[in-house]
């Protein structure tokens, strides 16, 4: 079965500190992987995506993620947190064959402490 | 503005009623997807249409139905509403059927009272 697991429903970091949000996937076929961000009362905005090109993917707002097949992981990082990064982050997976609907993780709420 | 337009933004209705949510995809996108976001279920895929045809179905209740019209806008119809149907309903669109991720609208918040 295909699924996504986000470790940690809440993560708090100090402003300027490293942000690390964890995502592991389960897939029997090559996956596409995504990170989306949701600000309060807004829709989901695509941060970055992995579609089988470079394993290190750079996204918007200084975020990046690395696809590690051996670890079935796609963790999201940002070297220095900003107050405006406070939001909910969702990891999602779809597949290179078959239907391309997204399977979402349960989300991680990021709090940035001044 | 993502380019995906959803109306209305908020909807309050009573149990047993029927509502229609509307979505206009980004210009040029042929696929439309509907998702439900609730506190207990998270983000759940409901259904996908591609160029007017149903393409994939997820956890969509029989009380719910959708369609995509020739101008590519889509409507999600929710009937015999229950309190548990209260949620954010998102529409997303993509150019085709490849799994490259898609663009979400800002959602319709449905409250059933």
Work out the pLDDT band at B97, boundaries 50, 70, 90.
Answer: confident
Element (H, E) at B64: strand B64-68
Q: Please, which residues have CB within 8 angstroms of residue A113's CB and are 6 or more apart in sequence? A: A12, A13, A14, A15
What share of chain A in percent tops pLDDT 90?
A: 72
**Closest by alpha carbon to A44, among B30, B19, B42, B111?**
B42
CA atoms within 13 A on the CB side of A76: 32
Selected residues 61-100 of chain A with any CB under 8 Å from a CB in chain B: 90, 92, 94-96, 99-100
Instruction: Tell which of B43, B105, B109 to mutate to test the A interface (max A CBs under 10 Å).
Output: B43
Backbone angles phi, psi at A89, to 5 degrees: -120, 135
Residue B105 is encoded by which pair of tokens? 């609208």
pLDDT tens digit string along B1-43? 789 999 999 999 999 999 999 999 999 999 999 999 998 888 9
């Amino acid at each position: 079965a295909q699924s996504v697991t986000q470790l940690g429903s809440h993560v708090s970091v100090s402003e300027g500190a490293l942000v690390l949000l964890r995502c592991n996937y389960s897939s029997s076929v090559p996956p596409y992987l995504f990170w989306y961000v949701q600000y309060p009362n807004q829709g989901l905005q695509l941060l970055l995506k992995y579609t089988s090109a470079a394993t290190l993917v750079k996204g918007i707002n200084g975020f990046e993620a690395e696809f590690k097949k051996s670890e079935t992981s796609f963790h999201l990082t940002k070297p220095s947190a900003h107050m405006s990064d406070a939001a909910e982050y969702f990891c999602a997976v779809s597949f290179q064959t078959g239907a391309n609907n997204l399977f979402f993780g349960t989300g991680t709420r990021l709090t940035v402490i001044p | 503005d993502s380019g995906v337009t959803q109306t209305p933004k908020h909807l309050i209705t009573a149990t047993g009623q029927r509502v229609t949510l509307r979505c206009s995809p980004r210009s040029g996108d042929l696929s439309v997807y509907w998702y439900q976001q609730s506190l207990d279920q998270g983000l759940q895929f409901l259904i996908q249409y591609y160029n007017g045809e149903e393409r994939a179905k997820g956890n969509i209740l029989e009380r719910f139905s959708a369609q995509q019209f020739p101008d590519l806008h889509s409507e999600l119809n929710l009937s015999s509403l229950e309190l548990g149907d209260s949620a954010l309903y998102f529409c997303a669109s993509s150019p085709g059927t490849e799994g490259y991720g898609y663009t979400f609208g800002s959602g319709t918040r449905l409250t059933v009272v």
